[in-house]
Amino acid sequence: MLLRENLRRGRRVAETDWATSGTIRQERDMGREEENTPFTCENCDREVLPLSNGSYRNHCPFCLFSKHVDVTLGDRRNECGGLMSPTGLTHKGGKGLQIIHRCRRCRAQSANRVAEDSVQPDDAEELLQLPPA
């Protein structure tokens, strides 16, 4: 009971957070069905479920690897498709904790929000191993 209440509260906070960042929300809504399907991580081979907190899952919660498929968050318009390694952890105002990913193929870098308050949240042990960026 208590857990469920906490989860509900967490979700509400996440929604409020998204609602205040209008541009991100717009980008995120494109191709949403495709975003919210389970995928198998190409680095650790584990099955990754979609986020249950209304946000977009773009990296593996177990090994934190990502895949280079977006130009902007969630659009799937990048054709690189390279595996992206987590290289660091940063904290930016208003956006919370973010993982810095670097593409092994084209060397592009991007920052992605840590997944919390969801099924399969990002592995805390793995997060702690990342150097501050």
Pairing mode, strands 39-40 and 47-48? antiparallel
Residue 24 or 60: the one with the smaller Cβ distance to Zn ion is 60
- Check binding of 49 to Zn ion (CB under 5 A): no
Residue from 13, 40, 106, 124 in contact with Zn ion (CB under 5 A): 106
- Check binding of 18 to Zn ion (CB under 5 A): no
Between CA 79 and CA 71 the distance in angstroms is: 9
Extract the tokens encoding 20.
């205040």
- Check binding of 80 to Zn ion (CB under 5 A): yes
Residue 13 or 44: the one with the smaller Cβ distance to Zn ion is 44
Provide the terminal-to-terminal Cα distance of the chain, rounded to the nearest Å. 38
- Check binding of 103 to Zn ion (CB under 5 A): yes
Residue from 24, 28, 35, 41 in contact with Zn ion (CB under 5 A): 41
The letter for the amino acid at 88 is G
